[in-house]
Structures are given as structure tokens and as C-alpha cells.
Amino acid sequence: MINRVTGELDFSTGLRILPHTSLESLSSCFGPSLKVETHRLSHKDWKRHVLGFHESEHGNFEVEALSAEDECIHVVLLSHWHPFYEVGTTCASETAGT
């Protein structure tokens, strides 16, 4: 899903985010099925782009990206839900005996 060497993100849905890619090229490569919801942020020309849910080998992730005035993606945010995160789940440090 995330290439540690290049920083590339690749999802089984076809979404592929390369370093320094523009939102425009991202949309054109993915095709018309990529629905992007864009919001202006309070800092200069930064924008938040909601790219929707995309499947990977690690589960279903909601994907958002931040771009600056150059329209290149600078930050990608991934979020998902997993039962492991529920209240009452033992922390790794507790199970390791620390």
C-alpha cells in the first residue's frame, strides 16, 4: 500500500498517489469515477481534498489529501476503523509486560 522507498500510495481500487503529483493528474489517471470534494483551508492557498474510500490489502481506508498553491499534493491522510481500536483492547505495551 505505501512504498517505504518512494512514498507512493497504491490502492486496489486503482487510486495511485505518487510523490509531488498534482490533483489534476491524479483525477485524470484514475478516471471519472474519482469523486473529489475540495475545501479551502484558512492558511493561504492550501486546500483539503476528500478522495473517498479506497480498498487496500490492509482494509478500507478513507483518503484525504492536502495541496498548496502549486496544486501538488503535499500530505495524504489515511483513516480506517478496525475492531482492534475499540475501547477495552489491550495496549501493545501491556501485552509486552512493560
Is residue 3 assigned to a domain? no
Is residue 37 assigned to a domain? yes
Q: Which three cell numbers stand for residue 76?
A: 495524504
Structurally, how many domains does the chain consist of?
1
Q: Is 28 helix (H, G, I), strand (E, B) or coil?
A: helix
What is the value of pTM for the model shown? 0.76
pLDDT score recorded for residue 78: 93
Is residue 94 assigned to a domain? no
The DSSP line for 47-63 is EEEEEEEEEETTEEEEE
Is residue 28 assigned to a domain? yes
| Spans of the chain below 70 pLDDT | 27-28, 30-32, 82-85, 89-98
Is residue 69 assigned to a domain? yes
pLDDT score recorded for residue 74: 92
CB 34 within 8 A of CB 51: yes
Range of the domain at 48: 9-89
